[in-house]
Homo-oligomer: A and B are copies of this chain.
Amino acid sequence: MSADFTPTERTRLRRRPQRGHFDEATVFAILDAAVVCHIGYVRDGQPVVTPTAFWREGRRLYWHGSAASGALGAQAGAPVCCTVTLHDGFLVGRSGFAHSILYRSVMAFGMPAAITDLPGKRRAMTAFLARLYPGRSAELRPIQDDELRQIVVLTMELDEVSAKVRPGPVLEKEPADYAVPCWAGTIPLATTVGALEPDARLAPGTAPGASLAAYAPGARLEDALRAGARGEPT
């Protein structure tokens, strides 16, 4: 295992260390397959977990939110834990104990910093749009300064990071359990794209632009995100 990220007391796995991964390729692939992360932070001594859209550039995470909400202000300069989870299916065993969840997850500890200058915010938000909808900025009017003033953009270095992956197959505790005469195996799950729904106020005949080409009905979201990153249709 290439240790691109150095395990720490918080990120090494005490149990089943073979499920822990610290290489950039595994960590980046999980982060890039997801849209929503869960940010944990401490407010008045209490843990708070907020879901939010995020994106990655190299070894940095980014997320944003309303300046009016207060949540991002509480996260800036404070210790946070950003967790990303992809639930890939169910492992169905022959004993209750062997039932489990297929997943890929990343946990990143750090202290996010706020991007406060307007050019920096504009660059970040343009990159976020491009991550989901490559080329879309060119189809839109420019972002306005007062729109940037209404949001907080946070960025955090990926440094204390681990991935945890639970693949198949079903692991029965006792050899005899494999003989229990019931079905066992995997129920795969995937996040998939549905048919695009035009806005009620859309001018008739307006087609989705090239920036949305990756979101073909039936496509897996993570394939669409990957294709989008490469500028390809799915």
Taking a contact as CB atoms under 8 Å apart, the answer to whether B101 and A53 are in contact is yes
Report B-chain residues with C-beta under 8 Å of the C-beta of A79.
Answer: 45-47
Provide the bound-state CA to CA distance between A189 and B221, in Å: 8
A186-217: which residues lie under 8 A (CB-CB) from chain B? 186-203, 206-209, 212, 215
Among B51, B147, B191, B206, the residue within 8 A (CB) of A183 is B206
State the A residues within 8 Å of B (CB).
10, 14-15, 35-36, 38-43, 45-51, 53, 66, 68-70, 79-83, 85, 87, 89-90, 92, 94-97, 99, 101, 103, 105, 107, 109, 125-126, 129, 132-133, 136-137, 139-141, 143-144, 147, 168-170, 173, 177-178, 180-203, 206-209, 212, 215, 221
Provide the bound-state CA to CA distance between A140 and B140, in Å: 57
Taking a contact as CB atoms under 8 Å apart, the answer to whether A132 and B49 are in contact is no
Taking a contact as CB atoms under 8 Å apart, the answer to whether B189 and A193 are in contact is yes
Binding site secondary structure of chain A: mixed
Provide the bound-state CA to CA distance between A195 and B189, in Å: 9
Least CB distance from A148 to B in Å reads 9
Q: Which residue of B lies closest to A94 (CB)?
A: B140
Among B41, B85, B101, B207, the residue within 8 A (CB) of A38 is B85
Taking a contact as CB atoms under 8 Å apart, the answer to whether A173 and B147 are in contact is yes
Q: Which 9 A-B pairs have the closest CB atoms?
A: A188-B194, A40-B49, A40-B47, A40-B40, A51-B85, A49-B83, A38-B38, A184-B199, A186-B197
Taking a contact as CB atoms under 8 Å apart, the answer to whether A10 and B180 are in contact is no
Taking a contact as CB atoms under 8 Å apart, the answer to whether B169 and A99 are in contact is no
Provide the bound-state CA to CA distance between A159 and B38, in Å: 21
Report B-chain residues with C-beta under 8 Å of the C-beta of A180.
Answer: 140-141
Provide the bound-state CA to CA distance between A82 and B83, in Å: 13
Provide the bound-state CA to CA distance between A84 and B215, in Å: 25
Taking a contact as CB atoms under 8 Å apart, the answer to whether B221 and A198 are in contact is no
